[in-house]
Amino acid sequence: MSEPLLLIVDADSTRRHHLIRACLLAAPGMRVAGAGHASEAEMLLDARRPQRIAVADGVENRASVIAKARITGVDCLIFAAGGGSFSEMAQQIISGIRVHPPASVVTYGAAISQLILIGASTGGIAAIEKILTTFPADCPPVLLVQHIRDGFAEGFVRRLDQILAPQVRVAAEGVILTPGTIHVAARSDRHLGVTRRAGVLRSRLLAGPPVAGHSPSVDVLFSDGAALAPEIDVRAALLTGMGADGANGMCAIYDAGGHTIAQDRDSSVVWGMPRMAVERGGVSEVLPLNRIAAALLRTGEAARAPAPLR
């Protein structure tokens, strides 16, 4: 089977050239083509049948390209031009490529009403897989911090992307958060966060010392989520793990009106991080692992009184 063909559509010829080069360097053997405008992209969609088309957010008549991609069953990604270095943008695009991608279209700037945040440590990899295997392909955007040894995060992301319905990506700077995507912190020298710019939610990577003893830190991610909780439905789960990372951030989300979930003692490998969040009064629900996915996907539920210690 030949390598997947990626079509990059960007009116800026210099940026398009550098982005194509970055994609080729990041994935040797992959085929990449470029188009400078919507009509050229539509012609190449017919002529070359790419597996994925990545369209810069500033391309004119972008909607016509999206519509044609929908008709032809090509997976379409809208990327933020200038949203990070060329290598970061290339990794973001490449991480979504599948040989047999779903016939889905991600629309740029769609209003996001719900955001899911997950933090875990010891025992978290298996717990995360169990939770996310039930998530539909169009789930709310998910940001995830799992404490993991250097060199293992990328493999974790690849495995999740193979077994889950949503697309799983290595978190990058300035990426627009869209439904059906899961962004995983993979750099030990950067914290993962989230921000809103011009009404659009974007991931962000922050340099800085470890927080609560960790980098990336769940507390940093949850603290950013707390800032958004008054505006959208932020739902956070703190899973099995040793220590207290995430407990303060979860309290902040709870206080801001978000919905917070702690994994219970019996289903946790180590009931440390969730217990600390419960003890500090920042948890809406304490749930066994097999009930957390449904609670994260619920909508319109305000924070409740702190859950009892279990």
CA–CA gap between residue 159 and residue 310 (Å, rounded)? 33
Torsion angle of the four alpha carbons 166, 170, 173, 174, in this order, in degrees rounded to the nearest 10: -10
Q: Which of 10, 147, 219, 259 is catalytic?
A: 147
Contact criterion met (CB below 8 Å) for 81 and 10: yes
Provide the 3-class DSSP secondary structure of residue 6. Answer: strand
Residue with tokens 């949203």: 83
End-to-end CA distance of the chain: 53
Q: Which of 245, 267, 268, 284 is catalytic?
A: 245
Active site includes 259? no
CA–CA gap between residue 186 and residue 153 (Å, rounded)? 5
Active site includes 245? yes
Contact criterion met (CB below 8 Å) for 123 and 241: yes
Q: Which of 121, 215, 217, 284 is catalytic?
A: 121
Backbone φ and ψ for 40, nearest 5 degrees, come out as: -65, -40
Active site includes 121? yes
CA–CA gap between residue 233 and residue 236 (Å, rounded)? 10
Torsion-angle region of residue 152: left (phi > 0), alpha (psi -120 to 50) or beta?
alpha
Contact criterion met (CB below 8 Å) for 118 and 144: yes
Active site residues: 121, 147, 245
